[in-house]
Amino acid sequence: MLRHATAPDSTQPLDPGSCGPRTGLRLQHIRAALFAVALAFMAGGCSRSGGPEASPQGSGVNLSTVPPSAYPLPAAADAARFLNQASFGATEAEVNKVRTYGYSAWLEDQFFMPGRSHEAYINTVSASLAPGQSLDDSHVMNTFWREAATGQDQLRRRVAFALSQIFVVSLQDSTVSEFKRGVASYLDMLGRNAFGNYRQLLDEVTLHPMMGLYLSHLRNRKEDPARNRVPDQNYAREVMQLFSIGLYELNPDGTPRLVGGQPVETYDSGDIVGLSRVFTGFSWAGPDKSDTRFFGGGMQDPDREVLFMQSYPSFHSISEKRFLTAVIPAGTNADPDGDLRIALDTIASHPNVGPFISRQLIQRLVTSNPTPAYVARVAQAFDAGRYTSGLWSTGTGQRGELRATVAAILLDPEARTAARLADPGFGKVREPILRTAHWMRAFNASSASGNFLLGVTDDATASLGQSAMRSPTVFNFYRPGYVPPNTSIATAGLVAPELQIVNEVSVVGYSNFMRSAVQNGLGSGSPRDIQPDYTAELALADNADLLIDRVSLLLTAGSMSAATRMIIRDAVNSVAMPATNQTTARQNRVRLAVFFTLSSPEYLVQK
């Protein structure tokens, strides 16, 4: 039976001159200084078969029936900070929900919240294309932005995005780029497994044809000494290095296990060779297992890019396979599925998996530099398959439970205690995708087309320098252990992964991009397709302090410093409010408050 790899289915311009010469100068300086500000602040002040498409309406659970966690009902700023970690950005409605019901009820609701399918979106777009038109990368970007901005299943979306940066496939790869529907299906698969079990996720990642194309184990053939051919080793190496156990053995708290003062390698070239033989004999799904179908020729299944790969025993190696703690003797198993099951069971049971995956998810959601104790607590929840906080508990008790892992990450004292805000090692630089999605959510952005036509945002000079599912390498947009050279971050022994894609060019590009977004909206068309709703902010525009309070809550979780607040207040107040015809003045005041906050160190670094 074939397994499906996814769920089936303008306004007056902002005149810098109207702000007075001092404000115009500050705007110019903010553009030029964002990189230095982020560096300084980071170092010194922070840190398988799917069902039908779920309805986009409705709720996951009855929040009022969820037992409370160990945390009392939070204040607005605490709720906003939690949401900035657990979603694509706080909104007024979600802040009120968390304040009313608490953290555990919000999480429980999100664990069972239905959502929409990226593949279904692509199918709809494909059916509407005119003759001669074809899908392009922008269509995948559009469905990503739509769900990041408006999807009700925000936690699932945020975790799926985090997983997409660990289990990378990329449209920048020339083979993957031919299959836009397949990439949408892959993103659906990550979302479907976001609160499931790691072992199942590893299975579906391995057999998804987009991963098979990207890491070249689709059509991988057994060795042939006569032709001097050996199995492709790409996936065998990366499944260990990047998706499961890493390069070195770890203690339960994620620190390297040392022997004689030196780290111990988790695998060697022999393990790669043994595993490469396991990943032979898999290729496109279809009604038969002919050689023609294996190689991708003939009449192909129209759904092959969204169906899990199937096994072809005639192309599978029956040589001995030694890897990690497993040995599959030569000639004893000609079943590719049986060998795969042994291999993935062996990898998933490795003690490194809990701390290795936990640390990376903490980095993507909460902080770039979690303490070993934080990693250990989350890894314990991963291994136990359950997390308990106060009267509330979640998870099935099966090792590798990601729902329990995510709950442990977000409710850990290191994530929730306000005292961490003053810790120079705590926090993470917001990557450009998160900044833009947060702006959309905070100000209730809507799409005239309903499709959020923002598209590819790779250009660092005039855009974000980052697009979902378009990582330049298998190592993601940035490495989890990246240390900016010759910086106070390096001196402090910290990492700052996201700064690997930050430089003078990208800083100016982001600043110009968001200034235009705040003023004119985003996306194609005239007026632009994606427009913010500043109604609530415009109502406060005659009072700079109230306006800044609201913007600060939504964007920085109320963490704006007195110095930044003074700069923004001066800018807002420099726009005079006339006695009549206040529309333009109110718009400019709001736009200044929003843009300056988006450019501030308190926003660029999520605490």
pTM: 0.92
Distances (CA, A) of 45 to 82, 178, 376, 502: 19, 44, 24, 18
CA distance 565 to 600: 10
Q: Which pLDDT score, from 0 to 100, does residue 331 have?
A: 81
Share of the chain above pLDDT 90, in %: 88
Which pLDDT tens digit goes with each residue over 11-32?
A: 333 333 333 323 332 334 444 4
CA distance 419 to 546: 25
Range with lowest mean pLDDT among 36-50, 328-342, 392-406, 517-531: 36-50
What's at 135, amino acid-wise? Answer: L
Question: Helix crossing, 154-164 with 353-365: angle to 10°?
Answer: 120
Q: What is the DSSP letter of 400?
A: T
Q: Is the pLDDT reported for residue 334 higher than 70?
A: yes
Which pLDDT tens digit goes with each residue over 281-327?
A: 999 999 999 999 999 999 999 999 999 999 999 999 999 999 999 99
Which residues, including other chains, have CB under 8 Å from residue 467's CB and lie 6 or more apart?
137, 141, 433, 456, 457, 458
Which residues, including other chains, have CB under 8 Å from residue 121's CB and lie 6 or more apart?
139, 142, 143, 146, 184
CA distance 272 to 254: 23
Q: Which pLDDT score, from 0 to 100, does residue 60 have?
A: 85
Q: 345, 363 in Cβ contact below 8 A? A: no
Which pLDDT tens digit goes with each residue over 457-475?
A: 999 999 999 999 999 999 9
Categorize the per-residue pLDDT at 161 as very low, low, confident or very high, splitting at 50, 70 and 90.
very high
> What's the whole-number mean pLDDT along residues 489-504?
96
CA distance 564 to 561: 5
Cis before 527 (ω within 30):
yes
Which pLDDT tens digit goes with each residue over 357-405?
A: 999 999 999 999 999 999 999 999 999 999 999 999 999 999 999 999 9
Q: Which of 442, 532, 435 is nearest to 92 (CA)?
A: 442
Categorize the per-residue pLDDT at 34 as very low, low, confident or very high, splitting at 50, 70 and 90.
very low
Size (the chain), residues: 607
Q: Which pLDDT score, from 0 to 100, does residue 4 have?
A: 53
Q: Is the pLDDT reported for residue 580 higher than 60?
A: yes
Q: What is the DSSP letter of 169?
A: -
Q: Which pLDDT score, from 0 to 100, does residue 142 have?
A: 98
SS (H, E, C) 279-338: CCCEECCCCCCCHHHHCCCCCCCCCCCCECCEECHHHCCCCCEEECCEEECCCCCCCHHH
Which residues, including other chains, have CB under 8 Å from residue 335's CB and lie 6 or more apart?
311, 313, 316
Q: Is the pLDDT reported for residue 37 higher than 50?
A: no
CB-based burial label for 542 (10 Å; 0-12, 13-18, 19+): middle
CA distance 464 to 194: 26
Q: Which pLDDT score, from 0 to 100, does residue 59 have?
A: 73
Question: Where are the domains positioned within the chain?
Answer: 1-198+350-607
How are beta strands 428-429 and 387-389 bridged, if at all? unpaired
Q: Is the pLDDT reported for residue 52 higher than 50?
A: no
> What's the whole-number mean pLDDT along residues 153-167?
98
Widest distance between CA atoms in the chain? 89
CB-based burial label for 203 (10 Å; 0-12, 13-18, 19+): buried
> What's the whole-number mean pLDDT along residues 529-547?
98
Q: Is the pLDDT reported for residue 51 higher than 80?
A: no
Categorize the per-residue pLDDT at 180 as very low, low, confident or very high, splitting at 50, 70 and 90.
very high
Q: Which pLDDT score, from 0 to 100, does residue 299 have?
A: 93
CA distance 120 to 307: 14
Mean predicted lDDT score pLDDT of the chain: 91
The dihedrals phi and psi of 458, each to the nearest 5 degrees, come to -75, -30
CA distance 526 to 509: 21
Which residues, including other chains, have CB under 8 Å from residue 221's CB and lie 6 or more apart?
229, 231, 280, 281, 315
Which pLDDT tens digit goes with each residue over 196-211?
A: 999 999 999 999 999 9
Range with lowest mean pLDDT among 24-38, 165-179, 534-548: 24-38
